[in-house]
Copies of this chain bind each other. A is one copy, B any other.
Amino acid sequence: MNPSNRLRGVFSPVITPRADDPRQAAAMLVRHCRWLLEQDVGLAVFGTNSEANSLSVAERMHLLDALAEAGVPGPRMMPGTGCCALEDSVELTRHAVAHGVGGVLMLPPFFYKGVSDDGLFASYAEVIERVADPRLRIYLYHIPHVTQVPISLALIERLLHAYPGVIAGIKDSSGDWANTSAMLERFQPRGFDVFAGSETFFLATMRAGGAGCITATGNVNPGPIARLYRTWQAADADAQQAALDALRATFMQFPMIPALKAAVAHFSGDSGYVAVRAPLVRLNAQQNAALIAALQAREFSMPGL
């Protein structure tokens, strides 16, 4: 039930550089993506930590085109394509599939709250029917503290039944192990790949048969996270997990997306990476200094960046 061409392992919701010149922003994105691929981390471009919903549809398509033109392999990408407007989700999904991506990570429409499972089922069904491409693989994106629109187990059951093969898995960013565990038990044996939504439950997810993790800190700590994926059955796996947790805790002392961008800017030597899009705000000088000091105290580095 688990086809060999399915996405597995560690993915990063890649930070999206911002620059006045779109070509420069694209070049900075390509550079960061190449570094992640060198560490064996796949590209969940246009995720939450990518500020994807702060980008227009045209901006997202331009950046994906730029990645493809730079030779980034489609099968190593899992772009986010879920928008409030299904028209936009359809356009982005068609475009991503045409680039041969390994799958798309799809938020539910997230403007209205308290919507029914019938309405969410109809949303995903409409995108699937309109894209109408046998190559389409959808990873559901469950991140209720942001969307306020949860993807229930009952909804997954309905979608899997209606669209087997197309509904390929989930990123569970609920932070609720009971939920992740339930999905691993009920759906993973049926070829529905469960990805931990951060490294917090990464080892637990692997031990329960999951497919990997998709994590913000993959942007800055890809090597060690990818190593745990390769060696999760090794004797030092718990120690590796503890080290990942400690680094994550350092970043969690700051607003995550600006902190990731500040770290990439510092260790790459390109200060342009710090720019964010409103309503996010970059770290102030004091926060930036505190972050870098905390990382240096841990002897943290980003080798090869």
Residues of A within 8 A of B (CB): 53-59, 84-88, 91, 108-113, 115-116, 118-120, 122-123, 125-126, 145-146, 148-149, 277-281
Contacts and interface: CB of A to CB of B under 8 A. Distances in A.
Given A54-B111, A112-B146, A146-B112, A119 B87 contact: no
Given A54-B86, A84-B54, A279-B122, A145 B113 contact: yes
A112 B278 contact: no
Contacts of A123: 278-279
Contacts of A109: 54, 278-279
A56 B88 contact: yes
14 contacts: A54-B84, A54-B86, A55-B85, A56-B88, A59-B85, A59-B87, A108-B279, A109-B278, A112-B280, A113-B146, A118-B281, A119-B281, A122-B278, A149-B279
Interface centre among A59, A84, A87 (most CB of B within 10 A): A84
Given A278-B126, A279-B120, A54 B85 contact: yes
A280 B119 contact: yes
A174 to B, nearest CB: 15
B112 A279 contact: yes
A60 to B, nearest CB: 9
A112 B119 CA distance: 22
Interface centre among A86, A120, A123, A279 (most CB of B within 10 A): A279
Contacts of A280: 112, 115, 119
A85 B56 contact: yes
Contacts of A281: 116, 118-119, 122
A111 B49 CA distance: 12
B54 A119 contact: no
Given A145-B113, A146-B112, A277 B86 contact: yes
A38 to B, nearest CB: 30
A108 B123 CA distance: 24
A119 B278 CA distance: 5
Nearest to A90: B56
A223 B88 CA distance: 36
A111 B145 CA distance: 11
